[in-house]
Amino acid sequence: MTRVLVVAYFFPPKGGAGTQRFAKFCKYLPEHGIDPVVLAAGEDLRNRSAPNDDPTLVAETSVQVERVPEPSHSPFWFALRRKLRFHLDEDVWAHVAGERALAMARDQGVQAVITTLSPYACYRIGERLRAQLGVPWIVDLRDPWALDGWRRYRSGLHARWDLGHMRRALTRADFVIANVPEAARAFVELGADPARTVVIPNGYDEQDFVGVTPQPRADSRFRLVHMGTLHDVDVPAGLTTNGLTVRRHRQIAPLGRTGHYLLHALARLRTRVPDLRDRLVVGLYGNVDASHQRLAAQLGVADLIEQHGYVTHRASTAALLGADAVFVPLHGVAADERALVVPGKLYEALASERPVLAALPPGDGFDLVQHLQAGRVVPPTDTDALAAALLELLELHWRGAPWRGCARERLRVFTRRHLTGLLARVVDAAVAGALAITLEDPWQSLGVGGVAAVAAPPDGEV
């Protein structure tokens, strides 16, 4: 067995999309002759990116997990950098955890290290093991780091400093894993070696759908569900802009990642369908900012909404299977750009075989839903288009001819087991000291999109 150290700050019992990615990889890696050991934050972790526990995820993995608690105080140098905003997320934890990682690598014969980001300071652990022990390092970016429009900076200097760290990770790691093809292209433009940059997205676990009973229905109303976080609706519409005290590397329309446009679409539908309350209900599962309750009341649609709060992954699967359609939103992007992320919830929404109401900008997620004809795709900040698409789904349902979702069989390349096989090939290549790897991403496998994100030369190919 190949022993691999996985640095995953978020790991069960913490819940959330970032946790599930490597919890699922660790579940299936032993099938490929790889024995993962995990270095994670303490179980008492309190982090806004993973505020909830999900005990159902713990039973899925039996790997060894070493936990490093949050440091009780910051050394002077780290405290000063934090005050000046020249710091990376959880940099003090990464500094302390780096010592533990070195000991684990020496004591347990680790043959490769994977750092999954965020927090982004964790890249230093992989870089340190590579430099001090010669252990090959794989960096996995769940989000596009400095290129994520949600990441904001105090000044242009801060923005360039963070981008410099990102370039350092991309150019010093032995292999780079991007979450989607569009992100892989962006990473290569920043200096990542195209021969060592691959795409392994999030996906869905077939076993999550086994033995799960759809959530019971109390009535015959059309049920639209949303899974995941909905951010504060009290932000300006339109694209963000750079100013004297706020800088971003990419501008986005953050209101798309909220329920703002959905609530306004419901309000418009209500004027056309007076008995909408008797025919439609919207179930929200996950952490929903309280501003949604106020906006729903102002628009007169609060009676159409059911808020369930954070639920376990198994419970969310049952809710998906009990839905008539699944709402998947994302932020907007500039007119000449494509999104560098795909909502993690999209893969499970598609695997539920329910039609998807996707409010997505141009990008890999948009392409996937369109290619699979799995639902309706509208711009993320277009209330009229969203209302029209929802009404179309409703009318088809009322006529007894509902839109059919995508058959799960067509999504085999997005199963966690298949994706873990791709990760295993990267690990094998890193351990073998390969100079390149050819790895077809799921979009290519399905014939979605055009030019491949990366191309590997034949020399040293695995």
In this structure, are 165 and 313 located in the same domain?
no
pTM: 0.93
Highest mean pLDDT among 15-24, 46-55, 267-276: 267-276
In this structure, are 153 and 241 located in the same domain?
no
* Within a domain: 453: no
Residue 240 has pLDDT above 80, yes or no: yes
Q: How many Cβ atoms sit within 10 Å of the Cβ of residue 299? A: 16
For the stretch 347-399, pLDDT in tens is 999 999 999 999 999 999 999 999 999 999 999 999 999 999 999 999 999 99
pLDDT at 15: 79
In this structure, are 271 and 349 located in the same domain?
yes
In this structure, are 432 and 393 located in the same domain?
no
Averaged pLDDT for residues 109-137: 97
Averaged pLDDT for residues 273-282: 95
Return the closest-CA partner of residue 39 out of 98, 89, 86, 85.
98
* Within a domain: 147: yes
* Within a domain: 303: yes
pLDDT at 48: 56
pLDDT at 47: 57
In this structure, are 87 and 173 located in the same domain?
yes
pLDDT band of residue 237 (cuts 50, 70, 90) is very high
In this structure, are 398 and 429 located in the same domain?
no
In this structure, are 199 and 260 located in the same domain?
no
Domain limits at 350? 206-410
* Within a domain: 139: yes
* Within a domain: 461: no
The CATH number for 228's domain is 3.40.50.2000
Averaged pLDDT for residues 296-321: 94
In this structure, are 214 and 138 located in the same domain?
no
Residue 461 has pLDDT above 70, yes or no: no
Contacts of 108 (CB under 8 A, 6+ apart): 3, 5, 37
Question: In angstroms, rounded to a whole number, what is the distance separating the alpha carbons of residues 28 and 60?
Answer: 10
- The per-residue pLDDT of the chain, averaged, comes to 92
Question: In angstroms, rounded to a whole number, what is the distance separating the alpha carbons of residues 413 and 402?
Answer: 26
Averaged pLDDT for residues 233-260: 95
Averaged pLDDT for residues 153-178: 97
Q: Which of 410, 435, 456 is the last residue of a domain?
A: 410
Averaged pLDDT for residues 116-134: 97
* Within a domain: 171: yes
How many separate domains does the chain show? 2
In this structure, are 301 and 419 located in the same domain?
no
Radius of gyration of the chain (CA): 22
* Within a domain: 451: no
In this structure, are 96 and 230 located in the same domain?
no
In this structure, are 42 and 140 located in the same domain?
yes
Q: Which of 410, 428, 456 is the last residue of a domain?
A: 410
In this structure, are 320 and 441 located in the same domain?
no
CA geometry: angle 297, 303, 309, nearest 5 deg: 85
* Within a domain: 459: no
